[in-house]
C-alpha cells in the first residue's frame, strides 16, 4: 500500500549540533504561539462570564438566566453576534496571512513576526478598554491580523533555524507555546470570572497584551534565518549566521544547498501561482488538507467553547471553568510527549495513533451525552461520577490531539515546502487553517443547537477519514534535511508521478 511504504532518508547529513544558541532562538521564536493560544483559551471563558454577556450580549444573558428545566439547553448560547465575536479574529487572520507572505519573503521572517506582535498588542488594548460591541470587534480584527502574521512566519522561522535531526522537537515549541497560552488564559478566566466589580472580562482580554509584548521583544532581538538572508541577497551574513547556529565552522555543504535553493527560488516570479504546477502538487495537497482536517477534528470546539460546552451540559459556572482548566493542563503536558517522541518515532506514527485515540474518545463522549442529555439537553442534576466520565473522555481526546494533529499540523507543512514556494505555501496553510477555524467558530453554536450530541458524530467521521488520508498519502519526513525533502516525494508511489527533478 502507498501509505505503508517507508521512505529512506536523504543521502546528505549536514554536520552541526544542537547548541544553546539555537535552543534559545527557537524558544523565543516559539512565543508567537502564546498569542494564538491565549486567544483560543480566553474566548470561551469570557463568553461564559455573566458580566460580559450582560454588557455586550444582554439577550443571551437573559436567556441563560431565565432558563428553565425542560427547555433545550443546547441552544442557550446560540447567537449570531456572540459567535461573530469569536470568529471575526480568524477571518482577519485569513486575510492577514496573505499580506504576511509578501512581508516574510521581501523583508524577512523577523519583520513579519514583529509586526504580528504589534498588531496583537493593539487588539488587546482595544478589547481591554472596549466600551461597546464595535470596539470589541475592532480589537478582535487586530488580534486576528497579529495571529495571521505570527502563524505565517514563526513556524517557518523554526523549521529553517533548527538542525534537521531536531527539527520536529524544536518546531513543536510553537505548539507548546500555544498550549501554554491556552492554559494561562484558562487560569486567568478562573480567577477573574467572579470578580465583584464585574470587570473580570476586561482583565482577561487585556492580559493578551502580555504575550504580545514578550513576542515583540523577543522578535526584535532575533537575527533572521540563513534561508531568509540568502533569499534577500545577504549571503555573507547568512554564512556567518549559519556557522553560529550550527556551532561549527564547516557548514559549506548546507550553505551551498541553501544558495542553490535560493537561486532556484528567484526564477519563480509568482510563487502563489507556481504552487499550482504539477511538481508542487503533493505540497499543495498537504498544506491544504492537513489544516483542513486539523480543524475538523473538533478540537477547537473543545478549546474555544470548553466553559460554554461544560456549562451547557450541566456543569455550574465555576465548575465549567475548572474543567476547561483541566483540559488546558492536559493539552500542555501531552504536547511535551510529542516534543519527546516526534524525532524518535516519526510524524506518521503520531498522526495515526492520535487519530485512532480521538475517534474512540469521540464515540465515548457521544454516547455519554446522548444517554444523559437526550434531545432536549436537560440532564437535571448531573451525578459527579457521570460528569467525571465526560471530563476524562474529553481529556484523553485532548491528549491525543496535543501529541498528534495539534503540533504536527504546524510542523509538517512548514518543513516540506521548497524555498521558492515556502512563504506562499505557508500562507495557504495558515489561510486554510483560519478559514475553517472561522467556520467552526461561527457554526458551532448553531450546529450544537440543531445537531445536539450528533455534532460529535459529525467530527468523528472526519477523524476517521483523515486517519486514512495520512496512512495513504503522507510519507515520513523525520530526519530529512529541509532542503533535501524532494527525495520523499520522488520515492512515494502516489506522488512520484507529479514530481519533476529540479536539480
Distance, CA of 27 to chain centre? 17
CA geometry: angle at 180 spanning 399 and 334, to 5°?
20
What distance in Å separates the CA atoms of residue 228 and residue 168, rounded to the nearest whole number? Answer: 20
Domain range for 298:
20-491
What distance in Å separates the CA atoms of residue 474 and residue 489, rounded to the nearest whole number? Answer: 9
Q: Note the pLDDT of residue 1.
A: 38
User: Mean pLDDT for each consecutive 10-residue tract of the chain (503 residues)?
Assistant: 41 68 83 84 75 75 58 55 74 82 82 90 90 86 89 82 79 84 84 76 89 89 84 84 81 80 67 74 90 84 60 60 75 86 88 93 82 55 68 87 87 80 78 81 70 78 93 87 79 77 45
Q: Note the pLDDT of residue 6.
A: 38
Q: Note the pLDDT of residue 357.
A: 94
- Residue 500, domain member (yes or no): no
What distance in Å separates the CA atoms of residue 64 and residue 445, rounded to the nearest whole number? Answer: 14
Interacting residues of 440 by C-beta distance below 8 A, sequence separation 6+: 295, 296, 300, 301, 304
Q: Note the pLDDT of residue 7.
A: 39
Interacting residues of 350 by C-beta distance below 8 A, sequence separation 6+: 338, 341, 342, 403, 404, 408
C-alpha cell at 189: 478566566
What does the pLDDT look like over 111-130, one tens digit per residue?
888 999 999 999 999 988 88
| Alpha-carbon separation of residue 275 from 46, 257, 331 (angstroms) | 40, 21, 34
Residue 499's nearest CA partner among 418, 387, 406, 430 is: 418
Residue 441's nearest CA partner among 232, 280, 299 is: 299
C-alpha cell at 360: 474512540
Q: Note the pLDDT of residue 81.
A: 66
C-alpha cell at 488: 520523499
- Residue 498, domain member (yes or no): no
* CATH code of the domain containing 409: 1.20.1250.20
Q: Note the pLDDT of residue 388.
A: 74
- Identify each DSSP E strand in 401-447 by its residue range: none
Residue 102's nearest CA partner among 287, 285, 292, 232 is: 232
- Residue 169, domain member (yes or no): yes
- Residue 373, domain member (yes or no): yes
pTM: 0.73
CA dihedral over 312, 318, 324, 327, signed as positive or negative: negative
- Residue 376, domain member (yes or no): yes
Q: Note the pLDDT of residue 57.
A: 72
Identify whether the C-beta of residue 332 lies closer than 8 Å to the C-beta of residue 179. Answer: yes
Q: What integer best gives the mean pLDDT of the chain? A: 78
Q: What is the dihedral of CA 166, 167, 168, 171, to 10 degrees?
A: 120
Q: What counts of helices (H) and strands (E) characterise the chain? A: 24, 0
Backbone angles phi, psi at 225, to 5 degrees: -75, 155
Interacting residues of 315 by C-beta distance below 8 A, sequence separation 6+: 323, 382, 387
- Residue 72, domain member (yes or no): yes
What distance in Å separates the CA atoms of residue 214 and residue 40, rounded to the nearest whole number? Answer: 18
Q: Note the pLDDT of residue 355.
A: 93
CA geometry: angle at 325 spanning 444 and 43, to 5°?
40
- Residue 134, domain member (yes or no): yes
How many domains does one find in the chain? 1
- Taking every pair of Cα atoms in the chain, the longest distance, rounded to a whole number of angstroms, is 73
- Residue 13, domain member (yes or no): no
What distance in Å separates the CA atoms of residue 197 and residue 328, rounded to the nearest whole number? Answer: 27
Amino acid at each position: 500500500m502507498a501509505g505503508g511504504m517507508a521512505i529512506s532518508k536523504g543521502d546528505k547529513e549536514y554536520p552541526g549540533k544542537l547548541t544553546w544558541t539555537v535552543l534559545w532562538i527557537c524558544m523565543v521564536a516559539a512565543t508567537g504561539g502564546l498569542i494564538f493560544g491565549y486567544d483560543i483559551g480566553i474566548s470561551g471563558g469570557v463568553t461564559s462570564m455573566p458580566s460580559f454577556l450582560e454588557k455586550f450580549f444582554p439577550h443571551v444573558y437573559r436567556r441563560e438566566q431565565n432558563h428553565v428545566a425542560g427547555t433545550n439547553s443546547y441552544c442557550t448560547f446560540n447567537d449570531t453576534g456572540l459567535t461573530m465575536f469569536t470568529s471575526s479574529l480568524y477571518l482577519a487572520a485569513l486575510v492577514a496571512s496573505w499580506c504576511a507572505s509578501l512581508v516574510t519573503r521581501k523583508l524577512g521572517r523577523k519583520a513579519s513576526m514583529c509586526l504580528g506582535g504589534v498588531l496583537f498588542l493593539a487588539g488587546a488594548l482595544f478589547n481591554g478598554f472596549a466600551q461597546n460591541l464595535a470596539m470589541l470587534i475592532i480589537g478582535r480584527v487586530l488580534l486576528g491580523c497579529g495571529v495571521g502574521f505570527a502563524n505565517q512566519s514563526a513556524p517557518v522561522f523554526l523549521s529553517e533555524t533548527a538542525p534537521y535531526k531536531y527539527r520536529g522537537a524544536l518546531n513543536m515549541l510553537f505548539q507548546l507555546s500555544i498550549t501554554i497560552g491556552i492554559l494561562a488564559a484558562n487560569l486567568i478566566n478562573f480567577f477573574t470570572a467572579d470578580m465583584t466589580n464585574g470587570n473580570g472580562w476586561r482583565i482577561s482580554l487585556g492580559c493578551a497584551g502580555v504575550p504580545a509584548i514578550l513576542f515583540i521583544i523577543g522578535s526584535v532581538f532575533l537575527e533572521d534565518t540563513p534561508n531568509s538572508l540568502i533569499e534577500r541577497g545577504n549571503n555573507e551574513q547568512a554564512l556567518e549566521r549559519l556557522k553560529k547556529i550550527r556551532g561549527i565552522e564547516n557548514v559549506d555543504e548546507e550553505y551551498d544547498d541553501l544558495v542553490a535553493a535560493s537561486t532556484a527560488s528567484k526564477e519563480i516570479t509568482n510563487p502563489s501561482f507556481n504552487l499550482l504546477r504539477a511538481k508542487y502538487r503533493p505540497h499543495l495537497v498537504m498544506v491544504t488538507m492537513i489544516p483542513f482536517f486539523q480543524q475538523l477534528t473538533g478540537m477547537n470546539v473543545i478549546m474555544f467553547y470548553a466553559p460554554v460546552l461544560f456549562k451547557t451540559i450541566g456543569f455550574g459556572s465555576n465548575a465549567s471553568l475548572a474543567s476547561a482548566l483541566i483540559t488546558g493542563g492536559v493539552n500542555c503536558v501531552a504536547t511535551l510527549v510529542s516534543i519527546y517522541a516526534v524525532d524518535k518515532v516519526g510524524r506518521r506514527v503520531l498522526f495515526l495513533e492520535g487519530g485512532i485515540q480521538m475517534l474512540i474518545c469521540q464515540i465515548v463522549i457521544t454516547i455519554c451525552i446522548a444517554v444523559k442529555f437526550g434531545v432536549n439537553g436537560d440532564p437535571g442534576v448531573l451525578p459527579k461520577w457521570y460528569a467525571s466520565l465526560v471530563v476524562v473522555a474529553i481529556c484523553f481526546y485532548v491528549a491525543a490531539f496535543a501529541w498528534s494533529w495539534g503540533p504536527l499540523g504546524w510542523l509538517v507543512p512548514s518543513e516540506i515546502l521548497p524555498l521558492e514556494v515556502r512563504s506562499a505555501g505557508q500562507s495557504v496553510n495558515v489561510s486554510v487553517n483560519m478559514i475553517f477555524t472561522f467556520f467552526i467558530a461561527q457554526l458551532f453554536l448553531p450546529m450544537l443547537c440543531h445537531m445536539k450530541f450528533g455534532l460529535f458524530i459529525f467530527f468523528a467521521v472526519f477523524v476517521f477519514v483523515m486517519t486514512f488520508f495520512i496512512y495513504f498519502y503522507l510519507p515520513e519526513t523525520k530526519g530529512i534535511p529541509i532542503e533535501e525533502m524532494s527525495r520523499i516525494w520522488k520515492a512515494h508511489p502516489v506522488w512520484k508521478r507529479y514530481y519533476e527533478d529540479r536539480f
